[in-house]
Structure 1
Amino acid sequence: MIRPYRDRCEEFPTTMETRAVPIRDALDRLTDDTDASRVFGEPYVTPDGATVIPVSTVGRHGARPAGVFVVTDGKPVWEPAVDSTRIAMLGELIGLVAATLATVAMVRRPPWPDVRVTVSRKS
């Protein structure tokens, strides 16, 4: 049998006051944590003299590459990081959904008209 958390912990917080953090301290901690290295990486110089600055976007699941700034002779050029696999998978998914919808539409009601032949034996 697994013991409850309250029995396994010596310092179990019993009230909200023991876990509460003053808002001013939380805001001070937030401003201390925000710095440019979270979005812009450390610049480095290539052998040909160009400076490369990596850029990432920070989201819920961590940082993702956005692209790089390449500075050559004082002129910055933005080069985005494009994930071609994601674009290809999106195209395949759209094609699969379109084919499925077309198949369902054909099975339920074909696009050709109903042809009925009635033969009468009256002479």
Structure 2
Amino acid sequence: MTLRERLNELPAMGSTLVYGAPHQTPDGATIITVAAVSGWRGSRPVGIFVVRDSEVKWEPAVDASRIATLGVITGLVAATLGTLAVVKTPPWPNMRFWDIRYRTN
């Protein structure tokens, strides 16, 4: 299969929702999966609809690793900015040897 044929198989560059086939659970609930399909990224789960006793409930799919990665990156950026601020202007007094030796009081 050539690259051009593979590119023609990709969906349009907009993001579209795709609904899966309904599944029945043993307790009588019906589950319908929802996925978002976008151009180069492929598809990712968005959530599920749970239909039970004529009530519909939406359960979003939460990517915990993405949230954890965002927290780690935020911490690293804060630590880097704090380190740069201390290195640039340290909070301790200026104690160079030249200043101490030739200080006039």
Deviations, residues 24-75 of structure 1 (Å, cap 9, x unaligned): xxxxxx9xxxxx9x61000111111000000011112111100000000010
- After superposition, the CA RMSD in angstroms is 2.3
Unaligned residue ranges in structure 2 (runs of 5+): 1-10
Unaligned residue ranges in structure 1 (runs of 5+): 1-29, 31-35
The number of residue pairs the alignment matches comes to: 85
Query: 2 CA distance for matches of 1:73 and 1:111?
Result: 65
Higher relative contact order (CA 8 A, sep 6+): 2
For the pair shown, the structure with the greater C-alpha radius of gyration is: 1
- 1:119 paired with 2:104, answer yes
**TM-score if structure 2 supplies the norm length?**
0.71
Aligned partner of 1:99 among 74, 79, 102: 79
Query: 1 CA distance for matches of 2:46 and 2:73?
Result: 24
Structure richer in strand, relative to its length: 2
Superposed, which structure 2 residues align to 1:1-123 within 5 Å? 39-60=18-39, 61-112=41-92, 114=94, 118-120=103-105
Percent of aligned pairs sharing the same letter = 53
**TM-score if structure 1 supplies the norm length?**
0.61
